């Protein structure tokens, strides 16, 4: 894993706002954009969604250290789409129990309302034993309600808005022995321009931090970089988050 290429022609920039030219080139993309960045910011995820909606092919490699995952504005949810499936047989059973619960509630209330005046008007205290039936019906209904809460009628699957990989960071568990952190920051536009350096695809990386980046349109160098990024996208041995797992972490999943 990895490449070495010598004598590439490139532009070098060191300082703040290192991403100004990068963002301009990304917005001017005609065919595709490929990004490797371990950290992402919500507003820059919006840039990728905008490109996708324009018909530009977007590919992304990131890690489970995504800033957006922990932030308030979760645009990562727009990259992972939740699809809800209904278990029809479970739903029919759920609806039947729900109707039975409503019927029992009606009977309980009606019986209680009928017993109270009968006891006093007819002066028949023995009718108070009728409340035993009310209590029993209440317990039965309470059991049915508890079963309703546990009944699972919805199942969830997830799909990606565009191709991306979320690699597992070292120390994140999940049974992985992965010790390699994808720390590279690589940006490829139309397979013709490549950026590399220290800036993450974050607001601070692009604008505020003191960063280092190179920009090259050297055909041979770009071709090598494209090959490496494509290899990471299609055939990496590194542990990665499954989209089904990742989606379940981002979304709530009501069962009924």
196 or 71, greater pLDDT: 196
248 or 117, greater pLDDT: 248
Task: State mean pLDDT over 224-236.
Answer: 88
Q: Which two three-digit tokens encode residue 101?
A: 């619960």
Is the pLDDT score of 64 beyond 80?
no
Q: Of 31-40, 41-50, 114-123, 241-250, give the lowest mean pLDDT range.
A: 114-123
Q: Which of 20, 6, 37 is nearest to 188 (CA)?
A: 37
Whether 2 and 228 have beta carbons less than 8 Å apart is answered as: yes
β-pairing, 211-216 vs 193-197, is: antiparallel
- DSSP single-letter state for residue 120: H
Half-sphere exposure of 142 (CA within 13 A, CB side): 6
Which of the four pLDDT bands, split at 50, 70 and 90, describes residue 6? confident
Facing residues of 214 across strands? 12, 196
Interior/surface letters 182-216, b for 16+ CB within 10 angstroms, e for the rest? bebbbbbbbbbbbbbbebbbbeebbeebebebebb
Q: Which regions of the chain does DSSP assign to beta strands (E)?
A: 11-15, 32-36, 57-63, 80-86, 154-160, 164-167, 186-189, 193-197, 211-216
115-130 pLDDT, tens digit each? 777 666 666 666 666 6
**Please, is 58 exposed, middle or buried when counting C-beta atoms within 10 Å of its C-beta (0-12, 13-18, 19+)?**
buried
pTM for this model (two decimals) = 0.74
- Which pLDDT score, from 0 to 100, does residue 39 have? 87
Matching CATH number, 11-79+162-241, of 1.10.10.60, 3.30.870.10, 3.20.20.140, 3.40.50.720: 3.30.870.10
178-199 pLDDT, tens digit each? 677 888 999 999 999 999 999 9
Q: What percentage of residues in the chain have a pLDDT greater than 70? A: 87
Whether 57 and 34 have beta carbons less than 8 Å apart is answered as: no
Q: Of 1-15, 79-93, 219-233, give the lowest mean pLDDT range.
A: 1-15
Distance, CA of 32 to CA of 188 (rounded, Å): 8
Which of the four pLDDT bands, split at 50, 70 and 90, describes residue 26? very high
Is the pLDDT score of 10 beyond 70?
yes
């Amino acid at each position: 894993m990895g490449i070495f290429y010598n004598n590439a022609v490139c532009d070098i920039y060191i300082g703040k706002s290192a991403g100004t030219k990068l963002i301009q080139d990304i917005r001017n993309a005609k065919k595709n954009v490929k990004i490797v960045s371990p950290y992402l910011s919500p507003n820059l995820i919006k840039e990728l969604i905008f490109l996708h909606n324009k018909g530009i092919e977007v590919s992304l490699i990131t890690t489970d250290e995504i800033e957006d995952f922990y932030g308030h504005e979760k645009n990562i949810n727009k990259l992972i789409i939740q699809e809800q499936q209904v278990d029809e047989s479970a739903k029919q059973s759920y609806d039947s129990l729900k109707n039975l619960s409503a019927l029992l509630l009606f009977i309980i209330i009606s019986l209680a309302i009928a017993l109270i005046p009968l006891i006093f008007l007819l002066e028949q205290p023995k009718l108070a034993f009728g409340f035993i039936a009310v209590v029993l019906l209440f317990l039965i209904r309470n059991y049915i309600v508890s079963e309703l809460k546990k009944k699972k009628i919805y199942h969830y699957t997830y799909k990606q808005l565009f191709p991306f990989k979320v690699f597992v960071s070292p120390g994140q568990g999940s049974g992985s022995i992965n010790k390699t952190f994808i720390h590279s920051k690589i940006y490829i536009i139309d397979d013709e321009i490549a950026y590399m350096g220290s800036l993450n695809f974050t607001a601070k990386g692009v604008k505020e931090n003191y960063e280092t980046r190179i920009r090259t349109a050297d055909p041979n160098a770009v071709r090598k970089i494209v090959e490496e990024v494509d290899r990471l996208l299609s055939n990496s041995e590194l542990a990665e988050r499954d989209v089904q797992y990742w989606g379940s972490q981002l979304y709530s999943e009501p069962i009924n």
